[in-house]
Amino acid sequence: MNSGTQNAVAGFPALKEEGGLKAPGLGKPLIFVGSVLVVLVCLFPFWWMALSSIKTLRELYTIPPIWWPESPTLGNYYKVLFESNIPRYFLNSVVISVGSTGLALVLAIFASYGFARFDFKGKPLLQACVLIGQLLPTAAIIVPLFVTLRVLGLVNTYWGLILVYMIITLPLSVWMLTSYFKAIPVELEEAAIIDGASRLGVLFRVTLPLSIPGIVAVIVYAFVTTWNEFIFALCFATDSSVKTLPIGLAEFSTEFNTDWGAVMAASVIMTLPIALLFLSMQRLFVGGLTAGATKG
Amino acid sequence: MYRPSTGLLFVLPALIVLAMLIAYPVAYTGLLSVTDGQGNFVGMSNFAKVLSARATPQAFWNTVYWVVGSIVFQVILGTATAVLLNQTFAGRAIVRSITLIPWVVPGIVAATTWAWMFHTEFGIINYMLTGPGIIDQPIGWLTNRDTVMPVLIAINVWKLFPFVAIMVLAGLQSIPNDLYEAARVDGANFWEEVRYVMLPQVRPVIVAVTLLLVIWGLNSITIIYAITRGGPANRTLITPIQIFRIAFENVQFNQAAALSVMFFAVAIAIVFVYIKALASQPREAR
Amino acid sequence: MTKPLLILATTASALAFSSVVSLAGEVTWWTPNFNEPRARELVEKFQAANPDITVNLEITTSDGLPQRVLTALQSGAAPDIIDVQHGWVNGYAQNGLVIPLDDVLQDREDYIPAALDYVTWDGKLWGIPYRIETHAVIYNRGHFTEVGLDPDSPPETWAELVDVATKLTKEGRSGFAITGGGEVGNTIFRSLPFIWMNGSSMISDDMTKATVNEPAAVEAVTFYTDFFRKGLSPASTLENDGTANRRLFIAETVSMYQSGQFDIASIREENPDIDIGVMRIPHPEGKDTAAILGGWSFVVPSDAQNPDEAKIFLQFLAEAESQGTLTDTFPARKSAMELPRFNDPILQVFKEMLPYGRPVPAEKNWVQISQAYFNGIQSILLGDMEPQEAMDVAAEEIQALLDE
């Protein structure tokens, strides 16, 4: 909340000062209507989910549906936090998502820079190759991927899932970052090179600071994707020391029944931290190229 | 100015890691597609069997419908939202974070929640519409042959337009101020600014995001599988779900592999053409 | 392990096995989450008597279980014992993924024959059934009284069922809910028995001919789908599976629906006001009722590390008392049925239905066959086709699968 208002305040004068001319923004009413609409559309199912998590079993499925439970209960949250494996899975999910996001990011930064700034033989082919892992249907790669992990001795380990998730996130991260790097004027880098900076120096001192919004976007993408992945986690992590949150959700379902209150509570627990994390990263999103360019 | 091999050095680590993990699955799938359950070579017979199935052409066209329908709205709504969120207004950070929620909610949970909300009897949506008399009969959103695919597409759009918005927003944030200033000096209004400054500048991002959406759309099974499982009567069956069914419900990994190979060939062709087309863009650095 | 896999993995296999090899005397058992407490109890009991064998219990989830089991079986890194549904066993057997278990089975005559038939293929037994169940019709006795029907004499024939359903259907309430959505199995379990009762089937006994478009089969399909077409089943039928029907029943908008005894506990918990009645599934005049036998079996994968120890443990699990402990519904052995657990009066009708329970045919393409049939049912419910036409289309597709 705080950081949000700060940004709004900080961002606005900056634009004005640098611009000199008044920015012809969208009209206030239009912004208001648009924002309300976006918030409603995005929040409605989530709100329904959160509401369901405080309903009692009897109130979950009623005809007609009820908007607000008569006696809201925190029982579902208690169950999820103290009577299930969710807290442990939360930790596993954090380790795996952070690990694979970090690794994918490092590899993607180099690869994207190579693709964005250099021309070499077979580049389109290699760019397509990067995407291969994404193009094979999941159903086709589960079994052979499992065999690969077994050969590497990585079944039921953090590393196993971290590597598998890299196959999913790395291609698109490379692809995204390449387009961000391309959008940065080559002239800025050339200037630095003339000043005697090395290629890597240029990448880390000029290009990266300018691409922070893109990098944040890629981080959010990779993190969210790994955070929510179900089928690979289900097949490759069978021990509760490595199981992730989506598996925890499935554990509330038995053959003919699902504890929906608990699933919804667990989903809220699973979703909110990411949304908050993003809220705290707002600062990095603002500024971007312009800030970097003026600061040199 | 640069030696060509430097670029390759940058690219190599990622390629090696990917190759290490993906080479075997690719080879394995290829091999499975031309053998039978006992490992004997059977030529093209798996392909013939899969192609002769009634569901295959139906699934193909459904996939086209699903992917194109989803992408058009994801890109339009996502970009519009990005432009909105790029404006300066109080509470912007909150709105930005809220926008992210659909994307962060686990797919399976989102799908079941929506299915529940769209349910003819239990659904809050029919309740909201019948209550004030907007419609007099509950609509079978997921059971009517004309509404089921559009509803699924709408759910998919809801799930992924935030991603487009965030990516495009990041692109908008990177536009140098002098471009806006130049436009303002020429007296451009807001919509002209969108048209002549913002859109051209984020075009590479939109182009890249669109490709990602194509790839995701082609491979996304969670929403449809959780809600309709391809029904009613195969009306929402898309090829990846068909592959999933053949492999894990029918236990015919060989036929599933054959369909995967064909699917893969089409997908790689689309991607290759797309990249080739991009390579001829003027913005490409030398 | 399948051959192509072997070819590709040979070089690395030595390494592979060294990393996952379990010590002799260790048995890894995968059981679904709903069995967990009872399974732990059994493992403890077994360990006390057999200290040489260590049992590692791994808990699976029912969501995604077929995928997870198949991935393990297909890739060669399988546990020693897995709990699976009866219906999956044949597919595994026909693909060489599990081993025959004839030498484990004792007291063959103590088992319900249909349960053993289920997991028999090519003259061999590929699974040890430990749990069986069938559907019956669950109904709301209060609704019966409300419309002047006697809740103690529920309908017995098809005609009576339609009559009663019509009387119960009024003002936002549906008399008899059928399924038309969710997983294929939901609708197969609820509609195929009607075809059987009427003396027909989906495919001929020798599995060479599609019979689903025979007059008797079409008559049964018409009977089933008419509940929806005549407005006796909820408007949401096409999106409802068994769970959705139970929820509608709990919300008191459905008066009768087919299900197993596993629903009783949920209904009692979520809406204690409902006075639950259970009846046999009504049959055509002068014919017997029928039901699909459902349930779970143990299988031993071909790639199990310690099949010998697994079999010792399996013999313990197959004992009547163990089955009686582990099952969520009924045990597959008659003697275990005597346990006090199964004496709840509400279970009486479910018990009576068991002898009418039949296995689904052991055709290798059964899943696709049922999918083709299910598509036909959905086409009828969508209003796209009449039953005869829909079943003709399904029969054509099924015939092609049988001819393969």
The winner for highest mean pLDDT among B15-24, B120-129, C207-216 is C207-216
* Mean pLDDT value across residues C76-88: 91
Summarised one tens digit per residue, pLDDT across range C92-112 is 998 889 999 999 999 999 999
Amino acid at the residue A151: V
B5, B16, B167, B252: which to substitute to probe chain A, counting the most A Cβ within 10 Å?
A: B167
Which distant-in-sequence residues (6+ apart) come within 8 Å of A65 by Cβ?
B122, B123, B124, B127
Query: How many angstroms separate the CA atoms of C14 and C41, rounded?
Result: 36
Examine the domain organization and report whether C147 and C192 are in the same domain: yes
Return the higher-pLDDT residue of B109 and C104: C104
CA distance A271 to A249: 12
Q: Is residue C149 part of a domain?
A: yes
Q: What is the mean pLDDT of residues B28-34?
A: 90
Q: Return the pLDDT at C350.
A: 95
Stretch B47-60: mean pLDDT: 90
> What pTM does this model have?
0.85
Name the segment(s) of chain B with CATH classification 1.10.3720.10.
60-241
Do residue C186 and residue C47 come from a single domain? Answer: no
pLDDT confidence of residue A283: 66
Q: Which two tokens stand for residue C129?
A: 């059934």
ipTM: 0.82
* CATH, residue C304: 3.40.190.10
Please indicate whether, in this complex, the C-beta atoms of C251 and A254 are within 8 angstroms of each other.
no
Specify the amino acid at residue A138: T
pLDDT for the residue B280: 56
pLDDT for the residue numbered B179: 80
Bridge partners for C81 per DSSP? C29
C127, C98 Cβ separation under 8 angstroms = yes
Q: Mean pLDDT lowest for which of A174-188, C109-123, C324-338? A: A174-188
| CB proximity list for C319: less than 8 A, separation 6 or greater | none
Whether residue A37 lies within 8 A of chain B, CB to CB, comes out as: no
Nearest to B99 by CA among A213, A278, A38: A38
- What does the DSSP 8-state code read for residue C233? S
In this predicted model, what pLDDT tens digit does every residue of C309-339 receive, in sequence order? 999 999 999 999 999 999 989 999 999 998 9
Share of chain C above pLDDT 70, in %: 94
B218–A135 CB contact, under 8 Å: yes
Q: Which of B37, B140, B232 sits opposite C95 (nearest CB)?
A: B37
Helix or strand run (H / E) with residue C124: strand C124-125
> Are residues C166 and C269 located together in one domain of the fold?
yes
Partner A, chain B 113-172, Cβ-Cβ below 8 Å: 113-114, 117, 121-124, 127, 158, 162-163, 166-167, 169-171
Angle at CA A140, nearest 5°, toward A135 and A141?
Answer: 80
* Alpha-carbon span B82 to B164, nearest angstrom: 8
Q: What was the pLDDT predicted at A24?
A: 66
Average pLDDT, chain C: 90
CA distance B104 to A272: 9
**Does residue C227 form part of some domain?**
yes
**Closest-CA residue in chain B for A258?**
B112
Number of helices (H), then strands (E), belonging to chain A: the values are: 17, 0
Do C272 and C301 sit in the same domain of this protein? no
Instruction: Check whether residue C380 and residue C349 sit in a common domain.
Output: no
Residue C3 in domain:
no
Q: Would you say residue C170 lies in a domain?
A: yes
Chain length of chain A = 296
Q: Which of C358, C374, C394 is at the close of a domain?
A: C358
List, as ranges, residues 135-194 from A with C-beta within 8 Å of B: 135-141, 143-145, 147-148, 163-164, 166-167, 170-172, 174-176, 178-180, 182-186
- State how far the alpha carbon of B271 is from the alpha carbons of A26, A125, B59, in Å: 36, 10, 20
Q: Are residues C379 and C397 in the same domain?
A: yes
pLDDT, averaged across chain A: 80
Residue contact B13–A7, C-beta within 8 A: no
Average pLDDT of the residues in A256-265: 85
Taking contacts as CB-CB distances below 8 angstroms, the residues of chain C near B138 are 235
Contact C9 A146 (CB under 8 A): no
| Higher pLDDT pick, C13 / C208 | C208
* Assigned domain for C58 exists: yes
pLDDT of A15: 37
CA B100 to chain CA centroid, Å, is 16
CB–CB of B255/A112 below 8 Å? no
Contacts of C181 in chain B (CB under 8 A): 142-143, 228, 231-232
- Chain A contact present for B269, CB below 8 A: no
For residue A293, pLDDT over 80 is answered with no
Half-sphere exposure of A141 (CA within 13 A, CB side): 24
The rounded radius of gyration (Å) of the Cα atoms in chain C is: 22
Query: Is the Cβ–Cβ distance between C149 and C139 less than 8 Å?
Result: no
Residue C74 sits in the same domain as residue C187: no
Q: Which CATH number fits domain B60-241: 1.10.3720.10, 3.90.1170.50, 3.10.20.30, 2.40.30.170?
A: 1.10.3720.10
Least confident of A15-29, A75-89, A127-141, B225-239: A15-29
| Chain A with chain B: Cβ pairs closer than 8 A | 362
Looking at the structure, tell me whether residues C274 and C198 fall in a common domain: yes
What per-residue confidence (pLDDT) applies to A16? 36
Quote the CA–CA distance of C81 and C313 in Å, as a whole number.
Answer: 9
What's the Cα-to-Cα distance from C34 to each of B157, B175, C61, rounded to whole Å? 35, 55, 8
Is C52 within 8 Å of C26 (Cβ atoms)? no
Residue A23's pLDDT is 62
Q: Which helix (H) or strand (E) holds C56?
A: strand C54-60
Q: Is C171 left (phi over 0), alpha (psi -120 to 50) or beta?
A: left
Question: Does the structure show a pLDDT above 60 at C32?
Answer: yes
Q: Give percent of chain C above pLDDT 90.
A: 76
Q: Each residue of C46-77: pLDDT tens digit? A: 999 999 899 999 989 888 888 889 989 988 88
User: What's the pLDDT tens digit per position in B248-275?
Assistant: 888 888 899 999 999 988 888 887 788 7
pLDDT above 70: percentage of residues in chain B: 95
- Three-class DSSP category at C357: strand
Domain count, chain C: 2
In this predicted structure, what is the pLDDT of residue C140? 96
Of A6 and A78, the one with more pLDDT: A78
* B253: nearest CB among C6, C74, C379: C74
Rounded to a whole number, what is the distance in Å from the CA of A235 to chain C's nearest CA? 5
CATH homologous superfamily for A73-295?
MetI-like (1.10.3720.10)
Summarize the confidence of residues B146-162 as an average pLDDT: 94
Helix axis angle for C215-229 and C184-197, nearest 10°, is 130
pLDDT tens for A25-77 read: 777 888 888 899 999 999 888 888 888 899 887 788 887 888 888 888 898 99
Residue C384: pLDDT above 60?
A: yes
Domain extent for C52: 18-133+294-358
- Domains in chain A: boundaries: 73-295
Q: Give dist(CA A145, CA A229) in Å, integer.
A: 15
| C12 in a structural domain | no
With cut-offs at 50, 70 and 90, classify the pLDDT of residue A4. very low
User: What's the pLDDT at B98?
Assistant: 86
Q: Kindly list the distances between the CA atom of residue A5 and the CA atoms of A26, B101, C100, in Å, as whole numbers in the listed order.
A: 19, 19, 68
Cβ within 8 Å, pair B245-C70 = no
